[in-house]
Structure 1
């Protein structure tokens, strides 16, 4: 790859697409009065689909830095969306779980997330979208091997 053409590299393009998508999702949440970041939405989805877990487990599942997850969870706790409780099995660990308040907004946020996906993919034909998804899954698989 030509060093002068870095803006066409897969790393640059996927990073940019991710940041733009997250920004749009956050804006759309704010438009309906929900002060939530895309990263916090990711945490909610992980917790909604699993048992309570530690911050480290959330970090590993989302491939995010522990400090980033910690900041997200702190903000979510202040909003009353999550609670941290000592583990019955290991009292040194705190388990994170969703509150009813968080579960009450999941449906609204899911609709917004689906709308964002529909909006940004509307001009991409299904074959191109499917090929892109397959290629990204291959890249993700390879990245996980290297990490």
Structure 2
């Protein structure tokens, strides 16, 4: 690899973009009185877009450590936005699901997340954005295969 620059590496740039996006998202949630982190929002989205699941399944889908997901779930449960119930198939595990209370918050958070994304993509034309998404999707596919 010629002239490697950490500051310009894809790993550094995508990591920085992710951290900045998450920080802004958390700030915007806080601005409207929603006490939720971007990481907790990720858990909510996984549950919203699928069936109730175990904490381990959430970890696998988000590629996060168990301790990180556990902290997010604990915070969401304290706010009454998710609940854990014993699995009917395995008494050692619990199923995590959204509560009715979370539905209004989820709708508001979706709007906020969409606005953060729109603001972050400002000045990038559609063709460039599409190419960026395709390239990042290929990198993700490669990394998933390498991480097996």
TM bin, normalised by shorter chain, reads over 0.9
1:131 CA drift (Å): 0.8
| Partner SS for 1:83 | strand
* SS in structure 1 at match of 2:80: coil
Higher helix share: 1
Q: Once the 2 structures are TM-superposed, how far is the Cα of residue 88 of structure 1 from its aligned partner?
A: 0.9
Alignment of 1:126-137 (within 5 A): 126-137=126-137
Report the Cα distance in structure 1 between the residues aligned to 2:112 and 2:80, rounded to whole angstroms: 21
Corresponding residue of 1:144:
144
CA–CA distance in structure 2, aligned partners of residues 112 and 122 of structure 1: 15
Tell me the equivalent position of 1:15: 15
Give the drift of 1:51: 1.4
Q: Distance in 2 between matches of 1:49 and 1:32?
A: 24
1:100 is paired with a residue whose SS is: coil
Unmatched runs of 5 consecutive residues or more in structure 2: none
Provide, for residues 65-117 of structure 1, a one-character-per-residue CA deviation record: whole Å limited to 9, x for no partner: 11100010011111111111101111111110111111121110010011011
Structure 1 residue 62: deviation in Å?
Answer: 0.5
SS of 2:85 mapped into structure 1:
strand
Mapping of 1:1-147 within 5 angstroms?
1=1, 2-3=3-4, 5-147=5-147
Deviation at 1:52, TM superposition (A): 1.1
Corresponding residue SS for 1:68: helix
State the Cα RMSD in Å: 0.9
In 2: Cα distance, 1:121 partner to 1:71 partner: 30
**Structure 1 alignment gaps of length 5 or more:** none
The number of equivalent residue pairs is 146
Q: Under a length normalisation based on structure 1, what TM-score does the superposition of the two structures give?
A: 0.96
What is the alpha-carbon distance in structure 1 between the residues aligned to residue 52 and residue 112 of structure 2?
A: 25
Stretches of 4+ aligned residues off by more than 4 angstroms: none
